Amino acid sequence: MNNERRDRPLIIFGVGELAQLAYFYFTHDSLRQVVAFTVDGAHLQQDQCMGLPVLAFEEVHAHYAPQEYDMFVAIGYARLNQARAEKCFEAKSRGYRLATYISSRSVTWGDLVIGENCFIMEGNIIQPFVRIGNNVIIWCGSLVSHHVEIGDNCFIAAHAVVSGHVKIGAHSFVGVNATLRDKITLAERTLVGAGALIIASTKENTAHLAAASPEAGVPSQRLQSLL
């Protein structure tokens, strides 16, 4: 892991659900103290979030200098994580260091290499010899097997299985309960839908979706004896 200071006070970019979750996790499971939220001035519609001030991003440095405060960009996977990547770039250009969070309720090893603005939630198992780039979100309950490499600006949803020696290219999305077999490569900007099974390497800018379960055509009352 990197050797950033993990006790500096923190500003969270965003006020949505992910920002609120980030506030909770950083507050209850890290050395960080969250002191404020920030959003672009054009989207500033409230002056408080979780009881803390919300400031315009264009002015936040005047109140919380980047020499003393770090930032976490809490934006989801919009535009294959491009929106989050752009705001990370802007925050860094203003001098802020970007914080990374790893849940104490996940399993990791000391050789984990992980970048900035990453968010690893509870219940994940990350085996040895794993490298995670910058700005990666891994939701709860996933398996990241040995010798996996995850590129920058990725999102791995809950309960995904990433088998050994997999490489995930930048700006990729792996959906809930998706499975990636071993020794394959997801090219950049691959979208893997919920429940999909990927057994071969992908091409750039491709989507791989599993079929949804159809309606059975039988009233549920007729099947209740099976429950």
Domain endpoint, select from 99, 123, 141: 99
In a domain, 147, yes or no: yes
Domain endpoint, select from 76, 99, 122: 99
Q: Provide the pLDDT for residue 197.
A: 98
Q: Which domain holds residue 131?
A: 101-204
In a domain, 5, yes or no: no
Q: What is the dihedral of CA 44, 121, 84, 128, to 10 degrees?
A: 160
In a domain, 213, yes or no: no
Residues 80 and 47 in one domain: yes
In a domain, 4, yes or no: no
Structure tokens at 151: 């590129």
Residue located via tokens 């839908």? 193
In a domain, 84, yes or no: yes
pTM of the model: 0.95
Kindly report the CATH number assigned to the domain that includes residue 24. Answer: 3.40.50.20
The span from the CA of 154 to the CA of 139, in Å, is: 11
Strand partners of residue 174: 156, 192
Residues 141 and 67 in one domain: no
| 98 secondary structure, DSSP code | B
Residues 107 and 192 in one domain: yes
Residues 26 and 85 in one domain: yes
Q: Provide the pLDDT for residue 4.
A: 56
The span from the CA of 132 to the CA of 125, in Å, is: 13
The number of folded domains in the chain is 2
- For the chain of 227 residues, list the mean pLDDT of each consecutive stretch of 10: 72 98 98 98 97 98 98 97 98 98 98 98 98 98 98 98 98 98 98 98 98 91 82
Q: Provide the pLDDT for residue 2.
A: 45
